[in-house]
Every structure is written in structure tokens, then in C-alpha cells.
């Protein structure tokens, strides 16, 4: 059973109970480039109360550095070390868990943020934003030269996904022995200011279908993402809360990490998915309409 936060006391109790606050971004802080009502004020309240704040996003289109710029542009003061993205998690997974040899390459389906994180981890990649792959020209397999050094395909949200990229990724995954299939995240949709669009999971879905194989996911709810945070941030799970807008990524991630969970309704999930006969099996501890609701604690009782 999920508890709806209603009164000033409800919000105060949560602030008292948790020292570390993990925030999802799309659908919690913003939709596209539009901040959600009250976010800046609530982050200010948490700073004033000396809470530890961490941002954990599955959106792999930006690197941590470019997220920092986005926060700056939106007028939110944060440190780059407070940001953890699924692009970063994929790069760390390849460099420190798989320990991909330096002479090997990654074939990227994704945007510049994913390329930047791979580069920062010392990994070599092809594909991605390369104009040669961002084409609607017919893919010609007879002209394709297979690069034997491609040891992994990493797939993130790519708003310029096309048949050439899917075909090349498919070639590497079927013809290069041991080539790893990695998805930064598997969100089926993501929230923009004007409504939902297909998410990164929908970008990797054609490959999953063609291969008959699931990728290794490095974003929420996977433990790779939590391991990345734990490697840099010390927190007591019993005094930590994950705030998110999606049940099968954010809330599951929090639950699997032994954290409390708070759902906001400003992104993907609606109230009927957590309450009533059609409720999901993944239920947050708490829910509230939006992060801005915490502003009530600054109002006189
Ligand atoms: O990749 C996706 O599908 C989307 O970017 C998705 O919105 C993830 O972002 P998050 O909600 O985790 O910030
Ligand atoms: Mg979200």
C-alpha cells in the first residue's frame, strides 16, 4: 500500500527521516527543457537542511558535464559529481567491469552524451553521431566492411535512429564473436513537455527482436547504476529515498537497493497504476502529485 503525502506533517516527516535524496530527472525535475513547478524551491529547501542530493537519470543523451550545463541554464546550482547518468554507467561498466581491452571498440547507437562518457573512460567508439551512419540512404550489406575490433554495441536513446545503425549493430552482434549487447536503459517511453515519446527501450527493441536476445542494461533498475553511485557517494540506505516517476525503473531501483521510494505523478505513472484493482506489483512507499508539494513546509502551520 502506497501512502499519499497530504499534510505539512507528512512532508516534514519525510524530510526528517531521510538524509540522502536520489532524484530521477525526466518527469521529476523537468520534461524536456521545462522545469516542473516548484523544483528549484524544493531543492533549495533540501540544501538548506543539509541533505545529500544525487541525480540519477536514465537519459543517456547527455553526459554528466552536459547535464551540469543544463542545470546551470535552468538556474539550479549543483556539482557535476552529484549527477549519475545511464551513459556514464554504461561506460564505467565497459571500462571497469568488462575491462574491455584498449585496442577494442564500441559501436554506438546513441547521441553525443554517450560518446562523451565513453571517451572519458578511455574507450574508442564508432557509429553514434558519425554522419556516415546518420543517413537514410539504403544500407548495402555488400559494401559494409566489418570492423573486427568492435567488442560491444551500446544502445541508448537516439532520436536519429535509422536502419543503417540497426543493421551495423546487428552485424557486429551476430558476426563478431563475443560482442556484448548493452542498453544504457530500457525505458519504453519518456516524457517531453508536450507528451510522451518512445524511449531508449523502444530504440533497442528492433535489435532485441532481430537477435532474439535481451541486452545487459546498465541504467535503472540495474545494480550497475547503483554501484556507480555507491562508488562515489556514501549513504545509509535506511536513511535514503529515491524519488521517481516510473515504476519499473526508478521505484524498482530504489526497492532493489533497499531504499525508501517516493513516486511523483508529473511524468510517466498515473495514480491508477499504484492504487486500485489495476495497480502494478511495483508500489512506492509514498506518492505525491509533484516535487513542488514539499514547498508546504515553508508555509506557516
Ligand atoms: O532514455 C529514455 O527513454 C528517457 O530518457 C527516460 O526519460 C529516462 O530518463 P529519467 O526519467 O531516468 O531521467
Ligand atoms: Mg523519469
Q: ipTM for the complex?
A: 0.97
Centre of ligand 2 to C-alpha 101, Å, is 33
CA angle 292, 293, 294 (to 5 degrees): 90
pLDDT of residue 261: 98
Beta bridge partners of 180: 152
Instruction: Please name which of 189, 190, 188, 203 lies closest in space to residue 153, comparing C-alpha atoms.
Output: 203
Span 223-239, average pLDDT: 96
Question: Which of 16, 19, 26, 293 is an active site residue?
Answer: 26
> Is the model's pLDDT at 301 over the cut of 80?
no
Among this protein's residues, is 26 annotated catalytic? Answer: yes
Ligand 1 pocket (Cβ < 6 Å) reads: 24-27, 57-59, 157, 185, 187, 190, 199-200
Active site includes 24? yes
Determine if residue 29 is left, alpha or beta; phi over 0 gives left, psi from -120 to 50 gives alpha, anything else beta.
alpha
pLDDT for 192-229, tens place per residue? 999 999 999 999 999 999 999 999 999 999 999 999 99
Output the CA 11–ligand 2 centroid distance in Å. Answer: 21
Omega before residue 221 within 30° of 0, cis: yes
Q: What Rg do the C-alpha atoms of the chain give, in angstroms? A: 20
Strands (E) across 115-220 are located at 124-127, 150-155, 180-183, 189-192, 195-198, 216-217
List the one residue out of 67, 66, 65 whose CA is nearest residue 24: 67
Amino acid at each position: 500500500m502506497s501512502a499519499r503525502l497530504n499534510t505539512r506533517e507528512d512532508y516534514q516527516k519525510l524530510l526528517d527521516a531521510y538524509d540522502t535524496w536520489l532524484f530521477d530527472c525526466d518527469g521529476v525535475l523537468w520534461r524536456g527543457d521545462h522545469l516542473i513547478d516548484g523544483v528549484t524551491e524544493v531543492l533549495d529547501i533540501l540544501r538548506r537542511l543539509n541533505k545529500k542530493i544525487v541525480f540519477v537519470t536514465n537519459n543517456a543523451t547527455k553526459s554528466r558535464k552536459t547535464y551540469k550545463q543544463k542545470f546551470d541554464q535552468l538556474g539550479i546550482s549543483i556539482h557535476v559529481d552529484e549527477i549519475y547518468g545511464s551513459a556514464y554507467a554504461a561506460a564505467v561498466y565497459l571500462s571497469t567491469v568488462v575491462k574491455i581491452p584498449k585496442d577494442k571498440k564500441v559501436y554506438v547507437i546513441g547521441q553525443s552524451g554517450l560518446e562523451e562518457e565513453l571517451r572519458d573512460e578511455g574507450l574508442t567508439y564508432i557509429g553514434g553521431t558519425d554522419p556516415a551512419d546518420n543517413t537514410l540512404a539504403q544500407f548495402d550489406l555488400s559494401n559494409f566492411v566489418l570492423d573486427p575490433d568492435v567488442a560491444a554495441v551500446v544502445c541508448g536513446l537516439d532520436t536519429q535512429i535509422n536502419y543503417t545503425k540497426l543493421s551495423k549493430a546487428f552485424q557486429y552482434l551476430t558476426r563478431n564473436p563475443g560482442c556484448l549487447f548493452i542498453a544504457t536503459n530500457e525505458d519504453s517511453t519518456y516524457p517531453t513537455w508536450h507528451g510522451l515519446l518512445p524511449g531508449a527501450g523502444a530504440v533497442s527493441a528492433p535489435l532485441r527482436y532481430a537477435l532474439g536476445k535481451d541486452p545487459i542494461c546498465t541504467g535503472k533498475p540495474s545494480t550497475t547504476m547503483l554501484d556507480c553511485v555507491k562508488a562515489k557517494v556514501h549513504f545509509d540506505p535506511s536513511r535514503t529515498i529515491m524519488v521517481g516517476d516510473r515504476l519499473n525503473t526508478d521505484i524498482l531501483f530504489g526497492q532493489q537497493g533497499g531504499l525508501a521510494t517516493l513516486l511523483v505523478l508529473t511524468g510517466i505513472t498515473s495514480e491508477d497504476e499504484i492504487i486500485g484493482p489495476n495497480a502494478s506489483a511495483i508500489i512506492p512507499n509514498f506518492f505525491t502529485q509533484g516535487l513542488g508539494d514539499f514547498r508546504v513546509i515553508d508555509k506557516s502551520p
